[in-house]
Structure 1
Amino acid sequence: MDVPATTPDDAIGHRARLRSRLFEHGGETLPDYELLEYLLALAIPRRDTKPLAKALLREFATLSGVMTADAADLARVKGMGETSVAAIKAAHAIALRLLKTTTSDLPILSNWQALLDYLRADMAHHAVERVRVLHLSSRNQLIRDEVMNEGTIDEAPVYAREVIRRALQIGSAAIILVHNHPSGDASPSRADIQITRAIADAGRPLGVALHDHIIIAAGGHTSLRAQGLI
Structure 2
Amino acid sequence: MQDPGARDPNDSGPVASPDDAGAQHSFLEAPQPLYSGHRQRLRDRFRQAGAEALPDYELLELVLFRAIPRRDTKDLAKRLLARFGSFAQVLNAPDARLKEISGVGDSVVTEIRLIRAAALRLMKGEIASSPLLSSWNQVLDYLRAVQGFEHREQFRILFLDKKNHLIADEVQGQGTVDHTPVYVREVVKRALELSSTAIILVHNHPSGDPTPSRADIDMTRLIVEAGRPLGVRVHDHVIVGRNGCASFRALRLI
Distance 1:173 1:158, change over 3 A: same
Q: Which stretch has the larger CA shift, 183-192 or 9-18? A: 9-18
**1:226 aligned counterpart, secondary structure:** coil
1:1-230 superposed matches below 5 A: 9-230=33-254
CA-to-aligned-CA distance 1:5-62 (integer Å, 9 cap, x gap): xx98332222222111101011110011110011101211101111111111122111
* Unmatched 5+ stretches in structure 1: 1-6
**Percent of matched pairs sharing the same residue:** 52
| Cα distance between partner residues in 1 of 2:32 and 2:221 | 61
**2:234 aligned counterpart, secondary structure:** strand
- TM-score normalised by length of structure 2: 0.86
Q: Is the 8 A contact 1:167 1:175 kept in 2?
A: yes
**2:102 aligned counterpart, secondary structure:** coil
Q: Is the 8 A contact 1:132 1:178 kept in 2?
A: yes
Q: Which stretch has the larger CA shift, 160-169 or 171-180? A: 160-169
The letter for the 2-side match of 1:18 is L
CA-to-aligned-CA distance 1:103-159 (integer Å, 9 cap, x gap): 100000001111111111111111100010000000100000010110111111112
Q: Is the 8 A contact 1:57 1:63 kept in 2?
A: yes
RMSD over aligned CA atoms reads 1.3
| Cα distance between partner residues in 1 of 2:146 and 2:42 | 27
Distance 1:207 1:57, change over 3 A: same
Q: Is the 8 A contact 1:159 1:195 kept in 2?
A: no
Query: If you compute each CA radius of gyration, which structure gives the higher value, 1 or 2?
Result: 2
RCO higher in structure (CA 8 A, sep ≥6): 1
- TM-score normalised by length of structure 1: 0.94
* Unmatched 5+ stretches in structure 2: 1-30
